[in-house]
Structure 1
Amino acid sequence: MSGHSKWSTIKRKKGANDAQRAKIFTKIAREIIVAVKAGGPDPDNNSSLKDAIAKARSNNMPNDNINRTIKKAAGDTDGDNYESITYEGYGPAGVAVIVNALTDNRNRTAADVRHAFDKNGGNMGQTGCVSFMFDQKGIIIIENEDMDEDEITMDALEAGADDIEVEDGVAEIVTAPSDMGAVRDALAEKYTISSAEVSMVPQTMTELTEEGQINAMTKLLDMLEDNDDVQDVYHNWDMPSED
């Protein structure tokens, strides 16, 4: 996966300030609420909730927050009814963008997402306009400067991974979406998981060379990720290295 585009997003989140962390916790709490309402409060019998809890912990969300959110969702039959919506569009120079949202007001969210595209040289398209350029994959990230590449590769493949790439102390493990949880749990017995989630992985990457396009694409991603209703943003921009 050229450029470790998903890992670049994770690195941005890991370096978040307190306000950004609070926003991330709010978004994860929505995922937990939706998972509990759909499948119940027991993660052993609710794989979506188990995945949401794992995501919360990988983002250092306190256990008290997680447990409080689960209890609230289990006892709240009227409020916090969120709808899952996916938007697709194009950023500067035709960069493909997919936006996943959980919202209690689809008109507000659609207007906000459209505004972000319009303001930064892009445009929101119809459903399906760019999703065919992506494959849904489970992505597990393990950070360890001292990792043995051969050992972790063997462990990942034995756990059921489809592929693994190790570079600069970061292992990016690819699974089928349905296998992600089982592979994550198997590897967690031996390794510290930095991130594990089902992602939309671009089939090809788009490079931006003009400074104006790079700045506009950066601002587009920032606006989308800062929106409380937006859960995930996927794109095929081959982001420049932060190093």
Structure 2
Amino acid sequence: MLKPLFRVKDLIFVQKRLAGHSKWANIRHTKALKDGQRGQMFTKFARQIKVAIQEGGSPDPVKNLKLEQVLEQAKRNNMPIGTIQGVIKSTQINKEMCKKYLLEIKGPGSSVFLCEVFTGNLTQTRSLLASILKKHSSKYVENSVKHMFVEKGIIECHLDDYKDKDILEKATEDAIEFGAEDVKVLDDNLIQFLCTSQNLKIVQTKLETAKYKITSASVEYVPNQLQILNEKDLEICSNLCEKLENQSEVIEIYDNIGN
């Protein structure tokens, strides 16, 4: 994990990461691309849309900020408008009482996972996932691990053709001005801004005004401390996440795995 260099106005600056900095990040990114190719990315967005409508109480993004954020993300990833409208319409027709739950999991090598599911039968879903966990040296935790994470707004974007100064220096200045808490430059000059979950929309809007090209913006569980795993445990965790994400009830998975 990268160590802070210095603080200015409560903003933490970090060194620019080098290509291949995180094997786990690369594994997860590759699987995400494959999921998109198989259409699973759209399936995940469909689940998130349904959750946002239920929790926000409205199928109208103007009245439902969480839904608006999910729809923006879906459109950035080229989810067809007709498909989006079909999902929204289905939530009005299907009144099945599904709810979102957070399952807490202990994985190999002191890794922990938060698994968001959307289901109308939690007992059945827990049982289904338990068989997957057992095959991957994992199980539901006896004591909560949610306190090991904090909800944060995460915005990833590009600033194309910027040559006036170092891109991290530019992003750092904008982070201070726009109210972000942290900024990193990842592989391929992908810039990641971290902010409070409440300020996500504000920071996103300011970045767009400043000509940043947003690739994703969402509220996620961020670990307070990262856990380093060996090669064997990394492979087990990778396979575990892939199996879990293939389940129709699973919305999102968060972990504390580091470089």
What is the TM-score when the length of structure 2 is the normalising length? Answer: 0.80
Structure with greater contact order relative to length (CA < 8 Å, sep ≥ 6): 2
**Residue by residue, what CA displacement relative to the aligned partner does 1:27-73 show, whole Å, maximum 9, x if unpaired?**
21122123234421221221111111122123321222122322333
The answer to whether residue 212 in structure 2 is matched with residue 191 in structure 1 is yes
The answer to whether residue 85 in structure 2 is matched with residue 67 in structure 1 is yes
Map 1:1-243 to 2 at 5 A.
9-10=28-29, 12-16=31-35, 18-19=37-38, 22-37=39-54, 38-73=56-91, 75-76=92-93, 78-126=94-142, 129-144=144-159, 146-147=161-162, 148-168=167-187, 169-189=189-209, 190-209=211-230, 211-239=231-259
Corresponding position of 2:13: none
**Residue by residue, what CA displacement relative to the aligned partner does 1:149-182 show, whole Å, maximum 9, x if unpaired?**
3333323332221111123302111010111122
Q: Give the number of aligned pairs.
A: 233
**Residue by residue, what CA displacement relative to the aligned partner does 1:214-240 show, whole Å, maximum 9, x if unpaired?**
22111111111111111111111125x
Corresponding position of 2:16: none
Structure 2, gaps ≥5 residues long: 3-20
Which residue identity is paired with 1:32? I
2: CA distance, partners of 1:132 / 1:221: 21
CA change 1:97–1:64 in 2 (3 A) is same
Query: 3-state SS of the aligned residue for 2:62?
Result: helix
Corresponding position of 2:9: none
Structure 1, gaps ≥5 residues long: none
| Larger Cα-atom Rg | 2
CA change 1:115–1:64 in 2 (3 A) is same
Identity of aligned residues (%): 28
2: CA distance, partners of 1:121 / 1:193: 37
1: CA distance, partners of 2:175 / 2:28: 23
1: CA distance, partners of 2:52 / 2:207: 24
Which residue identity is paired with 1:118? K
Which residue identity is paired with 2:89? K
What is the TM-score when the length of structure 1 is the normalising length? Answer: 0.84
